[in-house]
Amino acid sequence: MVEINVAKPFTLLHRNGDRQHFAAGAHAVDEATANHWYVQKHLASENEAGAAEDDEPSEDGEDKAALLAKAKALGLAVDGRWTVEKIAAAIAEAQAGKD
């Protein structure tokens, strides 16, 4: 399960015809639902979400914004919902592959 933070209430119409209503706030959903383009359009930005744990620097002192920028520069497809540790691990793996 993945946690999402909905900024504006909406209803998702699934392929099987089922409707799923999302109120504003946090929801635990499966990964396919979390990655759905319509769901993504209704999620709160990181600034709106106020995720305090994501603002914490990683063990080597880099904050999430710096890690996201580094990942983008490396051409990595990093999800903004990833933790600092997961982003740092992806960067380390990409850099190890270049050596």
Give 10-residue mean pLDDT values along the chain (99 residues). Answer: 90 93 92 91 69 49 79 85 87 82
* pLDDT, tens digit, 9 for 90 and up, residues 29-55: 999 999 999 999 999 876 554 544 444
Domain boundaries, the chain: 2-49, 52-98
3-class DSSP string for the chain = CEEEEECCCEEEECCCCCEEEECCEEEEECHHHHHCHHHHHCECCHHHHCCHHHHCCCCCCCCHHHHHHHHHHCCCCCCCCCCHHHHHHHHHHHHHHHC
Determine the Cα–Cα distance for residues 35 and 79; give it in Å rounded to an integer. Answer: 10
